[in-house]
Amino acid sequence: MNAEALRIQWFILKTSIAERLAYRGDFALATLVRFLPIVTQIFLWGAIYGAFGDSPRGRLYGYSYGDMVAYSLLVMLGRAFSSMPGLTGGIARDIRDGTIKKFLTQPVELFDYLFWHRVAHKVVYYVVATGPFALVFWLCRGYFPAWPDALTLCGAIVSLGLAFFIGFYIEALMGLVAFWYLEVSSLVFVYMLLNYFLSGHMLPLDWLPQPYSNWILWLPFKYLAYVPAAILLNRYSHAAMLQELGLGVVWVLVLWQLNRWTLARGLHRYSAYGG
């Protein structure tokens, strides 16, 4: 990638950040409201452990109540990287109403726009959410195991990057489906449902019985929440972690290629609806 391309991407990022900051009040409120589900989840796990464990300190499938609280918080961290609110719907809307034309007539790649726009979205989110995140993690610090070693920490950072890339490419791919089916909201709904279960958002994936856990663990969804959380909870050996990250990189490449292929096919089919 040459310096000119990097400079353009930097400007797309800068402009996107400025755009994200245009509606400050709504954005700040939406960021804070996203913390509410984690509070209910902590209470829910307390109730479950109270009912099924010998006590709230008992264990379910190798997870104590404290492990579950830590897992839930780390899943929230992973999802802060992998969730892409509005991405699929936004791409579909641009295709449907013809707004996509501006990306197709300027000397710039559509994916550069989409990608850096999303990075801006995340950067602003992290800036606003870092304080509340830090506070919640500090309040729950007693539930976390000791700090992982340096290699595991690096692995966790890489896994968060993979969560972002995989989340981005899956949702962008669904948006590109709008070249064939203009309305994709049902697809998004099905995806959210599957994602909630298959990413480990609802339950840790190592709770699932054989043979389901075998094939679910080969899918890309686990990188959206489970893998970063499991790495930070020291549930992988170094070798297993590196293997997981390697498979994650393969998924990023596959999804990237799939996006490019779908875009090329979609543009062939595109009829520039909406005037």
Partner 1 sequence: MNSGYDSPMTAIVVESLAKTYQVVRKQPGWGGAWRSLFHRETATIQAVRGVSFRIERGEMVAFLGPNGAGKTTTLKLLAGLIYPSSGTATVLGYVPWKREHAYRKRFSLVMGQKNQLWWDLPAQESFALHREIYRLEQSQFEKRLDELTELLEVRKLVRQPVRDLSLGERMRMELIAALLHDPEVLLLDEPTIGLDVVSQRKVQGFLRHYQDQRQITVLLTSHYMKDVEALCSRAIIINEGEIKHDGPLAEIIDRLSSQKIIQLQFADGEVAEGLEQFGRISERVGPRVKIEVPRTRIPEVLSAMLARYQIEDVGVQERPLEDVIAEFFTTPQTAHAGVAS
Full DSSP string of 71-101? HHHHHHHHHHHH--TTHHHHHHHHHHHSTTH
Under the criterion CB under 8 A, does residue 270 sit at the interface with partner 1?
Answer: yes
Report d(CA 160, CA 142) in Å as an integer.
23
Under the criterion CB under 8 A, does residue 2 sit at the interface with partner 1?
Answer: no
Q: Which long-range contacts (CB under 8 A, 24 or more apart) does 6-14 make?
A: 8/108, 8/112, 9/112, 9/116, 12/108, 12/112, 12/113, 12/116, 12/117, 13/116, 13/119, 13/120, 13/123
Count of residues that interact with partner 1, criterion CB under 8 A = 26
- Selected from 2, 26, 40, 107, the binder of partner 1 by CB under 8 A is 107
| Binding track over 39-58 against partner 1, x by CB under 8 A | --------------------
- Specify the residue, 20 or 235, whose C-beta has the smaller distance to partner 1: 20
Comparing C-alpha atoms, which of 238, 259, 233, 252 is closest to residue 67? 233
Residue 235, both tokens = 């549930």
- Specify the residue, 4 or 54, whose C-beta has the smaller distance to partner 1: 4
Under the criterion CB under 8 A, does residue 7 sit at the interface with partner 1?
Answer: yes
| Binding track over 9-38 against partner 1, x by CB under 8 A | --xx--x--xx--xx---------------
Report d(CA 129, CA 7) in Å as an integer.
28
Under the criterion CB under 8 A, does residue 4 sit at the interface with partner 1?
Answer: yes
Residues of this chain that bind partner 1 (CB under 8 A) = 4, 7-8, 11-12, 15, 18-19, 22-23, 98-99, 101-102, 104-108, 267-268, 270-272, 274-275
